[in-house]
Chains A and B, each alone.
Chain A
Amino acid sequence: MRKLWWRHAALIVISVIMLAPFYWLLKTAITSENIYEYPPHLLPVRPQLFNFVDVWYLIPFPRYLFNSIVVSLIAVAGNLVLNAMAGFALTLPFVGRRSVIVLLLSCTLIPFQATIIPAYLITAHLGLLNSYLGLALPLLSTIVCIFIFKASFDAVPRSLIDAARIDGLGEMRILLRVMLPLSTPAIATNIVLSFIWSWNNFLWPLIITRSQDMQTLPLGLARFLSYMEDTTDALYAFVVMVLAPGLLVFLMAQSAFMRGLTTGATKG
């Protein structure tokens, strides 16, 4: 009994530390105090939502939002289609299957950040700088997600697939009619992971966007910070608005998200 009490105490302290930055952000976003006054107030003074309105006037928020949504939609669609196809191909026996798997696994060791210079030059050659497709292209397929689909397809009973083959279904139909309907958790994980990765992506858009029209939310945030410094509390309202969709997606699909990260990580 005493031991349990001790554990809860430790976990509550950890939780408070982990949540403190969230609280401070939210407090700053809704307070009416002068945020540079010392000492700061621990509770928001005369809470209000004007900062959230200010964001719409201070920066082209709808434009950033629209760009982020378009890029994320392309990335999610690409991930679903390409990863499902690749994952399915890897469950079929073919010559060179092992080497393809080894190739994919070794690619996971090449961090995207280590490719930025040639990736920029390649994208420039393709004429895709400053375009939605260029923004989404490197994210269109993800190795972890391919293996999540593969693991899910491997779990489909062989007899079912054989029956479908005997009935004369082609491979495409087997994928669409048999495999995918039985893999909804893998589909959910793919959507959540690819959405969050593309929504949060910063370095790539930073490199390849030229005009403000094409900037996504993370770029808008960084830009806001650099030209306003942190002299306005509207910045923090903006941060809240940017974080909300990602957090909502995460909280709604928490189990899919965590399962995806760990299966992709430990099972491969």
Chain B
Amino acid sequence: MRSRRRAMVVACFLAPSLLIFIVYRILPLVWNVVLSFEYWSPLHPATWAGLDNYQEMLQDDDVFWQALWNTLIFLGSQPIAIALALGIALLVNSDLKGATVYRTIVFLSYPLMTVAVAIIWHWMYNERGGLINYALRQLGIIHQPIAFLDSFAWALPSTIVANTWQVLGFFMIVLLSGLQNIPLHLYEAARVDGAPAWARFFRITLPMLRPSVFLCLVIGMLNSFSAFDLIYVMTNGGPGHATELLITYIYKQGFVSTRFDYAAALTVAQFAMLLLLTWIAHRAVGGNAGAIE
């Protein structure tokens, strides 16, 4: 009797949250897959399309390949950001005076609205009023101003810098909490044995940090989706498609060209890529780095 009432309570307490996750996470996942095998638009009844959407994507759509390549470059920048964050985390992880102040400063950009971050950096890169062109010219590194966001060569790296600026603090905090979980006696033992600093770093710090690094990698991969706000406002995928990411291309196909079916196929492709990369990262960091479990 009692356990039955308990089951009722559990069901009632869990139901609202589960309903939201089923309706807004799991159902969309399934729906995307179904939609990707159909010809469908809001005014036409669905007809079976087989693999046509995927065939178009892989064989005829140059923009897809460009967006895929850009997304991979974007993802490739995440390990660099994580390495930078690890450096900063090691610097502030001590009884250094003012460590919390440095930590706050580095973290400050993370909770900002990404649209605002995009506008700030759009301005930082400006040819005349921007700080970056001004600083580079003052330092004599360049002689002519560069229109970073209008340049095919510079636009993507420039958005990556803006993204790194925003996420660096988050990676730092995750790595810092990982560092603080490493038992100090390991270092003491190593010091007694006469291990030099670099050996302590590679033999103790890095292996013990694996779960945190894995978590950063997963979040970094999800960033390739959440970078939508940044790209949409900074360059809207341009010039040409030089900064087009899969997610901005999905948005354009779905909500600008109203090709929901094709956009669904693109989403399935990006999600599959995300899962594959997560699996690779999981293997690379060493088997049982089940940080999120």
Q: Report A's interface with B, CB cutoff 8 A.
A: 4, 7-8, 10-11, 14-15, 18-22, 24-25, 28, 35-40, 82-83, 85-86, 88-90, 92, 94-95, 100, 103-105, 107-122, 137-138, 140-141, 143, 146, 170-172, 196, 199-200, 202-203, 206-207, 217-218, 221-222, 225, 230, 235-236, 239, 242-243, 246-247, 250-251, 254, 257-258, 261-262, 265-266, 268
Contact = CB atoms under 8 A, between A and B. Distances in A.
Interface string B1-43: 0000011011011101110110111111101100100000000
B111 interface: yes
Contacts of A143: 21
Contacts of A40: 128-131, 134
Contact of A21 (B114, B120, B169, B251): B120
B25 A115 contact: yes
B83 interface: no
Given A38-B129, A86-B17, A206-B232, 5 more contacts: A111-B274, A171-B9, A200-B115, A230-B122, A247-B112
A1 B7 CA distance: 62
Nearest to B268: A114
A222 B231 CA distance: 11
B28 A117 contact: yes
Interface in B247-276: 247, 250-251, 254-255, 260, 263-264, 267, 270-271, 274-275
B292 interface: yes
B142 interface: no
Contacts of A137: 20, 24
Contacts of B280: none
24 contacts: A15-B106, A20-B131, A25-B123, A82-B17, A85-B13, A85-B17, A108-B292, A111-B225, A113-B228, A115-B32, A117-B31, A118-B35, A138-B24, A171-B6, A200-B112, A218-B229, A230-B126, A242-B113, A242-B116, A247-B108, A247-B111, A261-B174, A262-B173, A265-B215
B74 interface: no
Contacts of B211: 266
B91 A36 contact: no
B129 A28 contact: yes
Contact of B105 (A15, A39, A100): A15
Given A117-B263, A225-B119, A247-B111, A36 B128 contact: yes
B201 interface: no
Interface residues of B, number: 94
B141 to A, nearest CB: 15
Contact of A268 (B13, B23, B293): B293
A265 B229 CA distance: 23
Nearest to B253: A117
A170 B168 CA distance: 46
B16 A141 contact: yes
B69 interface: no
Given A39-B134, A117-B267, A82 B16 contact: yes
B284 to A, nearest CB: 17
B247 A113 contact: yes
Interface in B102-145: 102, 104-109, 111-116, 119-124, 126, 128-131, 134, 137-138, 145
A20 B107 CA distance: 14
A109 B23 CA distance: 15
B25 A110 contact: yes
The 9 closest A-B pairs by CB, nearest first: A115-B28, A118-B28, A118-B31, A89-B13, A113-B225, A85-B13, A86-B17, A111-B225, A141-B17
A251 B20 CA distance: 31
A94 B109 CA distance: 42
A222 B270 CA distance: 26
Contacts of B108: 18-19, 22, 247, 250
A117 B264 contact: yes
Contact of B102 (A14, A89, A104): A14
B57 interface: no
B291 interface: yes
Contacts of A10: 91
B270 A24 contact: no
Given A21-B124, A88-B13, A203-B229, A94 B102 contact: no
A203 B230 CA distance: 11
B114 to A, nearest CB: 6
Interface string B83-107: 0000010011010101000101111
B112 A15 contact: no
A261 B17 contact: no
Q: Which of A114, A120, A243, A268 is most buried by chain B, counting CB atoms within 10 A of its CB? A: A114
A109 B91 CA distance: 31
Contacts of A250: 108, 111
B177 interface: yes
B272 to A, nearest CB: 10
A94 to B, nearest CB: 5
A100 to B, nearest CB: 7
Given A37-B128, A115-B28, A200 B114 contact: yes
